[in-house]
Amino acid sequence: MATTSRGTGPEQRASGPATGRLMQIGEAADRVGLSVRTIRHYEEAGLIVPSARSEGGFRLYTEPDLDRLAVVKRMKPLGFTLDEMRDLLTVLDALDTATGADRAALLDRLDMFHAAATVRVTALRDQLATAEGFAGTLRDKLDHHHSSEG
């Protein structure tokens, strides 16, 4: 029997059945394309908490845990900090049950994250265009020098 976790830290455990199929950390890592070490780092940083632990103490993850890891994985290349990742995950978790002014405040925060992601995506596109231009310049130089050899 596994124990489940519903809080934000490993100290917040409750007994009971976990929702969905449980998988060990290696399978979770394969499924989301992260290393086991990275998932453990995200756990230590408070971004992910295994939904359960086996009797032997193995971390056990569910599909919602993998969804959470996918959010973190997608934020990393955009340069979001661990604190920003944690903040967005908190917003996403709270949105499901928030009402009234709390929901409006959460939606404002989500909008801010969306705007920040959009700015970062634009910057990455600009960097990519610059890099592609540079690679093209090098290709032109190679082509020029190869054609002048023969």
Fold of 21-146: Multidrug-efflux Transporter Regulator; Chain: A; Domain 2 (1.10.1660)
Long-range contacts: 43-49, Cβ < 8 Å, 24+?
43/10, 45/82, 45/86, 46/8, 46/9, 46/86, 47/72, 47/82, 47/85, 47/86, 47/89, 48/72, 49/5, 49/7, 49/8, 49/9, 49/10, 49/12
Contacts within 8 Å (CB) and 24+ apart, 34-38? 34/69, 34/73
* Domain range annotation of the chain: 21-146
Its pTM stands at 0.76
Cα 62-52-85 angle, rounded to 5 deg: 65
What pLDDT, on a 0 to 100 scale, did the predictor assign at position 19? 56
Task: State pLDDT tens for residues 74-133.
Answer: 999 999 999 999 999 999 999 999 999 999 999 999 999 999 999 999 999 999 999 999
